[in-house]
């Protein structure tokens, strides 16, 4: 059965790639993926490459994302990047609350919710990341942890905003480790997340919200993962840094 939600695959380049390397990669991706219409394709370069990549993907089917943004607007917030600054480069998406930021910058659900609200106010689509650690999975509290993150990170958003938000389920133990959740494990948690959205905002919002899976996604496991009924795409780290692996994930998911 065809999914009613369009798949979305986003590449999170993290703190990698010079401007020249970024341009080389998107140039290759444009050529490889020009014919793809079935999947929304997003690349999230570092801030320093946003302007160049933005120009390079004009008139292509590749959209631009940032990896973080400030919860505040313009003003005295040294080192921060406001939503309006991202909009200048036609950024359409912003990754929020990635587990690396939750771990290293101590970002909380409440902060992520404020950033998500600021993103929506600027017409940016937030990709809100949630996921349990290995210790939490082994303690059998995955559902509780992820439900708390989903409720906390979407707190205060309107139903219309939640519907447009992308939730990325990324088990922390699967990020950059080569360990992937099985498709059954991932589907189970995605279905649970969708039920949480049903509980907060009802069926029609939950039916529309897209939930990506992230954690060592590669060409070899993309088809199986993305064919699960509640998995609507992928957030890809390591494998998004090379044209071949990222393009094959997208082609294999169609
Ligand atoms: C990520 O950091 O969002 C991620 C999923 O990384 P990787 O694909 O490398 O596990």
Kindly indicate the confidence band of residue 3, based on its pLDDT and cuts at 50, 70 and 90. confident
Q: Is the pTM of this model over 0.95?
A: yes
Shortest-distance Cα residue to atom 3 of ligand 1: 237
Instruction: Confirm or reject: Cβ of 97 under 6 Å from ligand 1.
Output: no
Closest C-alpha to 16, from 41, 40, 47, 56: 47
Q: Which residue carries 């809100």 as its tokens?
A: 128
Are 65 and 91 in contact by the 8 Å Cβ rule? The answer is yes
Q: In the chain, what are the domain boundaries?
A: 7-253
- What local confidence, expressed as pLDDT, does residue 113 receive? 98
Instruction: Report pLDDT digits (tens) over 165-199.
Output: 999 999 999 999 988 889 999 999 999 999 999 99
- What local confidence, expressed as pLDDT, does residue 4 receive? 86
Instruction: Confirm or reject: Cβ of 12 under 6 Å from ligand 1.
Output: yes
How many Å lie between the centroid of ligand 1 and the Cα of residue 238? Answer: 6
Closest C-alpha to 65, from 86, 88, 35, 39: 86
How many Å lie between the centroid of ligand 1 and the Cα of residue 169? Answer: 11
Q: Which atom of ligand 1 is nearest to the CA of 217?
A: 8
Say which residue, 64 or 1, is predicted with more confidence: 64
What fold characterizes domain 7-253?
A: TIM Barrel (3.20.20)
Closest C-alpha to 189, from 235, 254, 130, 124: 130
Mean pLDDT of the region 218-246 = 97
Closest C-alpha to 43, from 247, 252, 254: 247
How many Å lie between the centroid of ligand 1 and the Cα of residue 59? Answer: 28
Closest C-alpha to 101, from 135, 129, 66, 132: 129
């Amino acid at each position: 059965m065809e999914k009613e939600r369009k798949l979305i695959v986003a590449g999170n380049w993290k703190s990698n790639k010079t401007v020249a390397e970024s341009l080389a990669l998107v140039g290759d991706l444009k050529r490889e993926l020009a014919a793809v219409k079935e999947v929304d394709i997003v690349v999230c370069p570092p801030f320093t490459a946003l302007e160049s990549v933005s120009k390079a993907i004009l008139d292509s089917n590749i959209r631009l994302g940032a990896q973080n943004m400030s919860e505040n607007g313009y003003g005295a917030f040294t080192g921060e990047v406001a939503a309006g600054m991202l909009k200048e480069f036609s950024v359409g998406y912003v990754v929020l609350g990635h587990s690396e930021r939750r771990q290293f910058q101590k970002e909380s659900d409440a902060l992520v919710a404020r950033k998500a609200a600021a993103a929506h106010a600027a017409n940016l689509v937030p990709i809100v990341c949630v996921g349990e650690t290995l210790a939490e999975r082994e303690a059998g509290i995955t559902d509780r942890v992820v439900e708390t993150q989903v409720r906390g990170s979407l707190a205060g958003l309107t139903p219309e905003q939640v519907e447009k938000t992308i939730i990325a389920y990324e088990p922390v133990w699967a990020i950059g480790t080569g360990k992937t959740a099985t498709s059954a494990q991932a589907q189970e948690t995605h279905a649970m997340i969708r039920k949480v959205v049903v509980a907060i905002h009802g069926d029609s919002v939950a039916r529309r919200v897209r939930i990506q899976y992230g954690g060592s996604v590669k060409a070899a496991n993309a088809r199986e993962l993305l064919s699960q009924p509640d998995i609507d795409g992928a957030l890809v780290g390591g494998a998004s840094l090379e044209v071949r692996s990222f393009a094959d994930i997208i082609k294999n998911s169609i």
